[in-house]
Structures are given as structure tokens and as C-alpha cells.
A and B are shown apart, each in its own frame.
Chain A
Amino acid sequence: MRLNGLSSHRTVFSEETKIYSASPPFSSFDFIESRFNGINSLRRCFSLARSLGMETITLEKISPQGLILEENNELQAYFPDYKFKGALRLCFWKKGFKKTEELKRLTSRDFIGYAILKHDQVKSKRVNKWHVFEAVFKKYPNPRNFIARSKTFKISCGDRQFSIKGVLYCQQNSLNKACAQVALRSLLSNHLPEGDISYKKINELADITPESGREPGKGMTVVEIRRVLTSLDIGFRDVDYTLDDKFRDSLPYQKFIYAGVESGAGAMLGFRFSGPEIPDNAPPRHIIPFFGHTFNKDTWVPDAEISYFDVGGGVGYVPSENWTSSFIGHDDNFGPNYCVPRCHVNKANVDYVVELLNREVKYSGVHAEAVSLGFIYSLVPSIPSESKENHWIKRLTKFIRMKRIVLRAVFAKKKSYIANLKDFSDWEGNRESTEFLNDLEDMLPPYLWIIEISLPQLFPANERKIGEVVLNPFVEPNISKDVDFDLFLMARIPCYYFFLDSLEEGNPMFLLLDSNIKSHMPLIRRL
């Protein structure tokens, strides 16, 4: 199915557009309870719309097209008594209006979000209910809510088309999709060149078909999730914590989620429900997607011992994720764009985490941070002694000795990296040579793992850094080597750039190049 086919349920024309004013005495509660049997996830959609300034709601009945039609066909194949009972497109608007003609004066800036609701009936399964087939809402304008990658969706309303930027939210129906399928679709819609994927395709890639005897509505296993990602050529790193309890401490789930959301690829968290009514032998498990995080520069955690991440043997650093208050994600049971406090899900209840990698990327952001640590801790003490008089090198050296440097792994275009060096001066106003940066741009691959080096206080308050290690994300790491020099492209600290010159019998010789930048620089912003 081509992109148009995949998205035609969003753009299909509706015969009639009903308009509701959201001003008092309109009640979202009444609306949802009377029409949709009080679906929790829809309540969340209305709450988001209210928070974003909803003034008007439009409601349109739509015919089954695109992914809805494909889902209906899949459901028919599983359940011969399946009946499609209808689909509605709800759009939420910031402007007040009463007539469809007034849609003409609206722009996409007035558009807050949309939700497509679908009503399925399978009598043999005693299913007769509405669910949110998909919804997209703008993120809050707060710059501290960070989403590395969102997608623009085109939606029709009346005879007009509008666009909205966000991350696709989808709800399960327990028939052809459960939490795993909807979590995958949310993240895959950001990854795939087609811009979306059908549940039929996800299930087929997982080998869940009517002939397999597996009902897709009963969920997916880790093996099936992996099969889907591998078939689509999407790299990932995952951990099943039930296979080795020690990983809960040495490979904390938060590191993988943070690496996934910072790189824009996303991550999924699989956890167990707990409570007195949950059976110990077969606890139900749920999986949800994450795609963003919040940033709190005043958070207390980084000053406490817990903030320090030890890769082993007392070698560690302060990960930038410590200033993340919450991860932003969807919970298909409850709705879109929730902030889940970073440490809220008890590690004892987390059974699985998967960090998605960007296209062609061969290793995780967690891996990249650890590799960079070895280079920083080795390169800085090796610089000529006269440079050690620079205040920022002195401070860096001190924090390296204490193993308290802050690291932030960013997956970014080389253009963003070069722009970061070209567009800004250091704190004293020194600028890098444009001639050198133009040459450097030509010598780097199009995308980079950039591991920014900063210090506590400098990182959260000023959002600035004192250098970075740059790795090639497209090189397959050779983990049999303790140091994989093939990943390393370059490093920068005040006064110097480092390039690997040669390896003489395993002893690395680095080329040191003078830099005009003598102090700290702003953190990288992606282009």
C-alpha cells in the first residue's frame, strides 16, 4: 500500500461536518460518556485539547479507507462475524466558529489535534466498542518538553486540508492489535519512509497470520517484536531483565529509553503490573512507546550519589539524563503524550526495554557514551603541559579526576555539528576558523554520534559544553576489542582537536590540532 493509501483515512472527504462549541456549558465528560461509553483514552485527548486552548470540535463520519479498510479486512479474516460499525474523525480547534464555511478562515496554526475513532463488533468475542484508532496532538509549547522527532500529518476537515506535527498515538482493540502492535506503529510511523505501517503488515512480519493459529489481539512476544524490527531493517538494542536480574542495576532501563528518545529513534518499555490481585505466576505485562523527555535544570538528583553512572570498576560519569524529569510517551490504555516520571516505574517491575536505532546506525547511544568515556579520560591528560594552564582544561582535568564529567550522546546531522561550531563563539567571544570547519564538514559522514562533554552546573544552568567526542555511527563495532578505534572520528576540548593518526603496535598516536575555541560553547541543537 502506498503512502496515499496508508493515510487516506485521514484525508477522506466527509459528507457532513458537525460543529460543537467547547465553551461552557459544553462538557467533554458528557460528550464522551453519551457517545463513546466513556473511553479513558478519549478523555485524555479532550484533556490535551482543553490544555491547548480548545474552543471548537468538529465531528465527521468517515467511510473506511486506508489503514481502516485494511484493518477491517484483517479482522474479517480472523473473525468471520466481524462488523465495522463506523468511524468518526474529531478535530480540535483553538478558534471559535459555528459554520462549516468558517473553516475557510482557519489555518493549521488553529489546529490542536485530531482523533479518529473506530467502532468494531465481533459478537462471538463479545466485543462491541469504540476505540481511538489514532490521534495526534501538538506537544505543549514548553521548550522544556523535548521531542527529537515528530512527524507532520495531513488531515481533512470539511473541504479543507490541515497539517499537524506530533507523534502518532494508537489504541489496542484486543482483536487484531494489542499494546505491542500499537506501540510499534507509533514509533515506526516516524521511522519508515512510507510514514506509517498497517497492523496487518506488523502482524505478518511477526508471523502472526490467520493460518498461524495466533490471535494478534492477544499480544506479541519479544521474539515477534524483534522479528518486526529486523524485517524492517531497523536496528535496536534490547534487554530482557527476567533473563538476568543483575542487568537491572548494571544496564538500567532509563539509559536505553533516554538514548532512544534523545536520538529521535524512540524506545519501548515493557513492565509488569503489580498489586494484590495480580497472580505471581502469570503477571500481565504491558509495553508502551517513548519518544521525548522533559528537562529540569534545577533537579536535585545529579548532586546525589545516585546520579553517577559506573560502567564498572569505578569508572563513570554523570549522564545528562539525570536532568530529565520525565519521559514523554503514550500509554494506549490511557491516551497520548503522557509524562512518565523517569524513576516512577520500579526497576523490579520492568522486564524489557528496547532502544530503537536510527537507519543504518550500528550501535546504541549507551554504547557510544561508554566508548567516548575512554577517549576523554585518556586524551585530556595527554595534552602538552603548557595548555593545562587554560582554566577550562584545568576544570575538565579536575572533574575527570573526580569522574564527574557530564556526557550527553546526541545523534545529529554533521550539518548541525558544524553549524554549532560555526554559528557560536565561546564565552570569551573566540570563533573557530570557517576555512577549517568547511574542510572538516567534507571529511565527516552525514550523521554522527556526538557525545557532548560538560560539567555539573555548566550543563543544566547554561546549557553549554566544553567539548565533544565524535563517533561514526555507521561502523559495526568490534566488541572483541577493548578499544574500538574504528568508531572514533575526532574529539574536541578547549584549545584542541584530536584525530587518530596511527596505531603503532596497538599504541595510539593522535594528531593534535590547535583550536580557536578556548572555553565553553552552547549545546548542540539539531537541524
Chain B
Amino acid sequence: MKNMLGIDMKKEEQARFTSPKIAEEIRKRFADKTEIISVNMKYKRNIGRFVRKIERAHNKAKKSTLSFS
């Protein structure tokens, strides 16, 4: 079954839900209550570095030699 955004509600379709698609639909329905603003994304490098650190740690753990008994 497809939803308002034309996306099938199957598991594999879940990644297709995006904010621009929602925004488009919201604009159609509630045009008089919306406006567009430009946003300057702050601290993006710090946050980008942090999430890369999580992934780096996760990837490093592939080489772990720890064992638990």
C-alpha cells in the first residue's frame, strides 16, 4: 500500500522517506502557514568528525583480539 508520498510501506522502502518529499506535500496542503528560510549549518565539522570516530572505532573492532569467558 502506498502512502501520501507515493512510497510503498514495505520494509525496503523505508529509506525512501525524505524530508524534501514531506516538505513538498506540506507546502501543497498548508501553503498559507509556511515559509522558506535559509539555514547556516553550524559545527558541522565537529559533528562530522565525531560520527566518523564512532564508525572508526566500530571498524577497528574488526581486529579485536579480546575474548570473554
Give the B-binding residues of A (Cβ under 8 A): 178-180, 218-223, 225-226, 237-240, 242-244, 247, 250-251, 270, 284-287, 311-313, 315, 351-352, 360, 364, 366-367, 370-371, 373-374, 377-379, 381-384, 436, 439-440, 442-447, 472, 474-477, 479, 481-483, 485-486, 488-490, 497, 499-502, 507-514
> What total of chain B residues lie within 8 Å of the partner, measured CB to CB?
54
A selection of 9 A-B contacts at a CB cut-off of 8 Å is A237-B58, A238-B61, A243-B63, A364-B54, A378-B40, A477-B51, A482-B48, A500-B23, A511-B34
B52 to chain A, nearest CB (A): 5
Complex: A507 Cα to B40 Cα, angstroms: 7
Contact of B61 among A239, A366, A384, A514 (CB under 8 A): A239
Question: Known contacts being A284-B69, A370-B50, is A479 close to B55, with CB within 8 Å?
Answer: yes
Question: Known contacts being A482-B47, A510-B37, is A443 close to B20, with CB within 8 Å?
Answer: no
User: When the two chains form their complex, are residues B66 and A351 in contact, meaning their CB atoms are under 8 A apart?
Assistant: yes
Complex: A396 Cα to B57 Cα, angstroms: 33
User: When the two chains form their complex, are residues A443 and B21 in contact, meaning their CB atoms are under 8 A apart?
Assistant: yes
Give the A-binding residues of B (Cβ under 8 A): 3-5, 9, 11, 14-15, 17-23, 25-27, 29-30, 33-55, 57-58, 60-69
User: When the two chains form their complex, are residues B67 and A285 in contact, meaning their CB atoms are under 8 A apart?
Assistant: yes
Complex: A128 Cα to B53 Cα, angstroms: 47
A353 to chain B, nearest CB (A): 10
User: When the two chains form their complex, are residues B20 and A444 in contact, meaning their CB atoms are under 8 A apart?
Assistant: no
User: When the two chains form their complex, are residues B67 and A222 in contact, meaning their CB atoms are under 8 A apart?
Assistant: yes
Complex: A174 Cα to B40 Cα, angstroms: 57
Question: Known contacts being A179-B69, A284-B69, is A367 close to B51, with CB within 8 Å?
Answer: yes
Question: Known contacts being A439-B4, A501-B36, is A483 close to B41, with CB within 8 Å?
Answer: yes
Contact of A472 among B17, B37, B52 (CB under 8 A): B17
A194 to chain B, nearest CB (A): 18
User: When the two chains form their complex, are residues A286 and B68 in contact, meaning their CB atoms are under 8 A apart?
Assistant: yes
User: When the two chains form their complex, are residues B43 and A360 in contact, meaning their CB atoms are under 8 A apart?
Assistant: no
User: When the two chains form their complex, are residues A222 and B61 in contact, meaning their CB atoms are under 8 A apart?
Assistant: yes
User: When the two chains form their complex, are residues A222 and B66 in contact, meaning their CB atoms are under 8 A apart?
Assistant: yes
Q: A218-B69, A240-B57 are in contact. List 18 more A-B contacts (CB 8 A).
A: A223-B62, A237-B57, A237-B58, A238-B61, A284-B69, A370-B50, A443-B17, A443-B21, A443-B26, A474-B14, A483-B41, A486-B18, A489-B19, A489-B22, A499-B23, A501-B36, A512-B36, A513-B26
Residues of chain A contacted by B18 (CB below 8 angstroms): 472, 486, 489, 500
Residues of chain B contacted by A370 (CB below 8 angstroms): 47, 50-51, 54
Q: Which 10 A-B pairs have the closest CB atoms?
A: A219-B69, A482-B48, A222-B64, A500-B19, A499-B23, A474-B14, A482-B44, A311-B50, A287-B68, A240-B64
Complex: A488 Cα to B39 Cα, angstroms: 14
Question: Known contacts being A179-B68, A439-B25, is A378 close to B41, with CB within 8 Å?
Answer: yes
Question: Known contacts being A219-B67, A243-B63, A485-B19, is A499 close to B26, with CB within 8 Å?
Answer: yes
Residues of chain B contacted by A501 (CB below 8 angstroms): 20, 23, 27, 36
User: When the two chains form their complex, are residues A513 and B64 in contact, meaning their CB atoms are under 8 A apart?
Assistant: no
Complex: A311 Cα to B41 Cα, angstroms: 16
Complex: A483 Cα to B26 Cα, angstroms: 23
User: When the two chains form their complex, are residues A178 and B62 in contact, meaning their CB atoms are under 8 A apart?
Assistant: no
User: When the two chains form their complex, are residues B60 and A476 in contact, meaning their CB atoms are under 8 A apart?
Assistant: no
Residue of B nearest to A503 (CB): B20
Question: Known contacts being A439-B25, A477-B51, is A285 close to B66, with CB within 8 Å?
Answer: yes
Question: Known contacts being A443-B3, A509-B36, is A490 close to B19, with CB within 8 Å?
Answer: yes
Complex: A474 Cα to B39 Cα, angstroms: 25
Residues of chain B contacted by A371 (CB below 8 angstroms): 47, 51
Residues of chain B contacted by A239 (CB below 8 angstroms): 57-58, 61
A505 to chain B, nearest CB (A): 12
Residue of A nearest to B20 (CB): A500
User: When the two chains form their complex, are residues A374 and B41 in contact, meaning their CB atoms are under 8 A apart?
Assistant: yes
User: When the two chains form their complex, are residues A226 and B26 in contact, meaning their CB atoms are under 8 A apart?
Assistant: no
Complex: A517 Cα to B33 Cα, angstroms: 14
Complex: A500 Cα to B34 Cα, angstroms: 12
Which of B39, B40, B44, B60 has the most chain A CB atoms inside 10 A of its CB? B39
Complex: A340 Cα to B42 Cα, angstroms: 37
User: When the two chains form their complex, are residues A479 and B51 in contact, meaning their CB atoms are under 8 A apart?
Assistant: yes
User: When the two chains form their complex, are residues A476 and B15 in contact, meaning their CB atoms are under 8 A apart?
Assistant: yes
Complex: A377 Cα to B57 Cα, angstroms: 26
